[in-house]
Amino acid sequence: MSEEKAREQNSIPTSKVERSAKFVKTGFKVGGNYIKHYSKKLFNPNLDKTELNEDNAADIYASLSELKGSALKVAQMLSMDKNILPKAYVDKFSQSQYNAPPLSGPLIVQTFRKYFGKSPEQIYDKFNLRSTNAASIGQVHQAELNGQKLAVKIQYPGVGDSISSDLKLVKPFAFRLLGMSEKELDVYMREVEERLLEETDYELEVRRSVEFSNACANLQNIVFPTYYPQLSSKRIITMSWIDGKHLKEFLQTNPSQELRNQIGQALWDFYNFQQHELRAVHADPHPGNFLITPEGDLGIIDFGCIKEMPEDFYDPFFSLTSTNLLDNKEETIKAFRKLEMILPGDNAQQIEFYYSIYHQMISLFAKPYMVGTFDFGETGFFDELYGFGEQLSRMPEFKQARGVKHFIYVNRTNFGLYNILHELKAQVKTDTYKPHVVLEH
């Protein structure tokens, strides 16, 4: 039996009891790693936490990979927030952006029989039971029908039904890793749960995919699959196949600066068009959701996670990042209050403290928006950005919840976009789609 075949999963723990038992077992392993670390530290007081973090990251990732679903999705999200976790976790968890152990053939056939009453061979002319890509919520198979090459995304069994209970189980790990306050973690988990419930509803994803790909059809150098609602269901999506490379493979081909800029510009336009023209955005900018085609276009292959931006968030947020509002202290504080970055109970000293820190943070974050063209290959900007994030994570003042819940996905989206553009080292025109905010005088 090949190693690849051995890594296939023949079952996924789907009941609450089975899934919580898996978490408990992982908890014991993590506890064991801590004991091992502190035993070694007795003999070597200078020992740092590198090995401990690597052991914990490997054990937690192995467990989440087997469980799949929302727990693995949270790991994937955390790996994108590079300044929140130790490097060992980021490196390990970012694997979930591309590959988790795939499901075995019999489980795939079972899923098709459940939703279509037929096996895949009875639906398509050709269907490859070996998946081409396995991620956190589903895996993709290649198929063919009437000479058309198709991608068929199949959701793992039990994933949609176990979101709430999984997030309760992942909470202690998140609590320890993130160092958030209980209240802040609750807000984070509720927002994540809401998006994940949408993300596991494949019928909703097909409707949104059609809607968004039509709305973005005129953007340059961007391609979308064609979706087939009649060959899709609550747990299966059929779409046309897009040939292309993921970012990692694309960068290994040593692309020209011109091509990097073209892909970077397509990404920037895709995100900023949605944010400012649609007020809703593809909120899952991890590299596994994009392909770069042989023609040099950007293929968008997943619309599972969409974040809508209400007016009372959009206006104050983008007024801060794209106008000279930050020059007016009084108006800036008003915007911070609307966004709950400054809270009603804050005293004068706290208002001054949070105003100063957030002013610095937004001035830094908004740099690309304040110029006509921005070079995302510039490491100084990212060193500053991550350095600032690290500084904040160590400040006791930021252990309590700050900011409305919309920040969770909007920040994740924009930082995810910045990170991909940084990996591309792209130079991008940043004034193509501007926020629609009018300052009151």
222-223 and 298-300 strand pairing: parallel
Lowest mean pLDDT among 96-100, 358-362, 410-414: 96-100
Which of 145-149, 281-285, 381-385 ranks highest by mean pLDDT? 145-149
Lowest mean pLDDT among 62-76, 88-102, 181-195, 221-235: 88-102
Contact between residue 59 and residue 156 where contact means Cβ atoms under 8 Å apart: no
Strand partners of residue 245: 292
**In angstroms, how far is CA 184 from the centroid of its own chain?**
19
Residue 172: pLDDT band (50, 70, 90) is low
Report the C-alpha gap between 98 and 250 in whole angstroms: 14
Report the C-alpha gap between 268 and 271 in whole angstroms: 5
- Extract long-range pairs of 88-91: CB within 8 Å, 24+ residues apart: 88/50, 88/53, 88/54, 88/56, 88/57, 89/53, 89/56, 89/57, 89/60, 89/177, 91/57
**Tens-digit pLDDT profile for residues 272-327:** 999 999 999 888 887 888 999 999 999 998 887 788 999 999 999 988 887 778 88
Report the C-alpha gap between 64 and 41 in whole angstroms: 29
CB atoms within 10 A of CB 232: 22
**Tens-digit pLDDT profile for residues 19-61:** 666 665 665 565 565 566 556 666 666 766 666 666 666 666 6
- 300 or 6, higher pLDDT: 300
Contact between residue 156 and residue 68 where contact means Cβ atoms under 8 Å apart: yes
Query: How many degrees, rounded to 5, is the angle at CA 121 between CA 120 and CA 125?
Result: 115
Report the C-alpha gap between 351 and 153 in whole angstroms: 49
**Tens-digit pLDDT profile for residues 358-370:** 999 889 988 998 8
- Check residue 274 and report its DSSP letter: I
Report the C-alpha gap between 302 and 285 in whole angstroms: 10
* CB neighbour class for 123 (10 Å; exposed up to 12, middle 13-18, buried from 19): middle
Q: Give the distance between the most distant pair of CA atoms in the chain.
A: 72
Q: Is 343 helix (H, G, I), strand (E, B) or coil?
A: coil
- 69 pLDDT exceeds 90? no
- For residue 4, the model assigns a pLDDT of 42
